[in-house]
Structure 1
Amino acid sequence: MSQIDELVERVERLLVRYEELQRTNALLEQQLAGMTAERDSLRSRLNAARARIDALLERLPEPLAVPDPSDKEAG
């Protein structure tokens, strides 16, 4: 095989590999976009849950003061 033929074969293999890498990259970009959207959705749900918990905590009555038995007044 001549050097030109070998070079042509190598270039063709490189082009095939390049196309495969482009397809793989496109798939990875799609996955990344999906995961980013999912992360953003989960963050939003987390913030909403936090807000609901904070609202519930605000509705709780203040704790009653329990007298300390060691604090005996004159008696």
Structure 2
Amino acid sequence: MSQIDELAERVERLLVRYEELQRTNALLEQQLAGMTAERDSLRSRLSAARARIDALLERLPETISAPDGGQKDAG
């Protein structure tokens, strides 16, 4: 096999590999976009949950009495 034929074969293999990598990259970009959207959604839900918890905490009285009148047992 001549050097030109060998070179042509290597170039063909490289082109096939390049096309495979392009397809893989496109799939990874799709997965990344999906994960990014999911992350953003989870962050939004977390923020909303924090806001609800903060609102509930504000509604709690400043001090909560213990059932025994707030005094601890001296032991």
Question: Same fold by TM (over 0.5)?
Answer: yes
The CA distance in 1 between the partners of 2:21 and 2:52, in whole Å, is 46
**How far off its partner does 1:39 sit?**
0.3
In structure 2, stretches of 5+ residues that fail to align are: none
Aligned residues: 70
Q: Runs in 1 of length 4+ with deviation above 3 angstroms?
A: 64-67
Residue of structure 2 equivalent to 1:13: 13
**How far off its partner does 1:5 sit?**
0.6
Residue of structure 2 equivalent to 1:56: 56
Normalising by the residue count of structure 2, what TM-score does the alignment of the two structures yield?
0.84
The CA distance in 2 between the partners of 1:20 and 1:64, in whole Å, is 65
Distance 1:37 1:8, change over 3 A: same
Normalising by the residue count of structure 1, what TM-score does the alignment of the two structures yield?
0.84
Identical residues among aligned pairs (%): 90
Distance 1:10 1:55, change over 3 A: same
